[in-house]
Amino acid sequence: MDMLERAGAAELLGVAGFALYALAYVWISIGRVTGDSPLFYALNGLAALAVLASLTMDFNLGSVMIQIFYLAVSLAGLWSRLRQRRGRPTAAAPAAPSYLSPP
């Protein structure tokens, strides 16, 4: 029997989540997307949702906590980047200490 035939929906969701995480990581590594790209945050958010859904069938508290964290960070990053694109101000990053600035 083929492995895909035996895999349940939850397992397939987990594999899809892995694929999205891997795709986002590869794309950021090769420069196809940047850390400021809404697509990067969207891919990570969708990956977290898929893995989180798969964990409803085979619960693991640590994994659920990681996925909720990734989902929250992805949503915050996506929201922030979309606000920037619309020209709305976002919280400014603090200035670097003077000793880190080039002379």
Among 13, 10, 79, 93, residue whose Cα is nearest residue 46: 13
Query: Could you tell me which residue, 10 or 24, shows the higher pLDDT?
Result: 24
State yes or no: pLDDT of 101 exceeds 60: no
Query: Could you tell me which residue, 28 or 96, shows the higher pLDDT?
Result: 28
State yes or no: pLDDT of 86 exceeds 80: yes
